[in-house]
Amino acid sequence: MTLAAVLPSVNAALNATSAVLLLAGFLAIRRGAWKVHRAFMLAACTSSVLFLAGYFTRIALTGTHRFPGSGGLKALYLAVLLSHTVLAAAAAPLVLRTLFLAAKARFPDHRRIARATFPVWMYVSVTGVVVYVMLYHLAPAIR
């Protein structure tokens, strides 16, 4: 198996890992466990950075892929992909700003922007897995 063949699955696993770590970090801060929260959020960042490296590597190796299905399934895929792509572009600066504020111990500002960053980042992580399943598993099974 080639790197190009395995990267989509690895990237989906990294997105799923990010989502789980984000949820764990959210739950930790709700319990007041800020050190645990910090560890989970830094791990989520690491997972997301590894995902980006894998994603750009796959694009460089194989280019983009067209959805092989049609009709309503294709329309649903394109809607999920569009929302995922737009919010992924927004997530990067939000995450960086949120991390910066935490690193500078500007916690009131950090909490304020994290309220927007968390749902966007979570949506992007989860829909990344959905896009993978639709593109690599659902559509080929229907053909």
User: Distance (Å, rounded) from C-alpha 108 to C-alpha 115?
Assistant: 11
What's the pLDDT score for residue 91? 97
Six-digit token string for 133 = 């399943």
Domain boundaries, the chain: 3-142
What's the pLDDT score for residue 68? 87
Residue 61 has pLDDT above 80, yes or no: yes
Residues 117-134: pLDDT tens digits?
Answer: 999 999 999 999 999 999
The CB-side HSE value for 53 (13 A sphere, CA atoms) comes to 7
Its pTM stands at 0.93
| Distances from the Cα of 24 to the Cα of 20, 64, 70, 121, 130, angstroms | 6, 32, 37, 13, 20
What's the pLDDT score for residue 105? 97
Residues 7-20: pLDDT tens digits?
Answer: 999 999 999 999 99
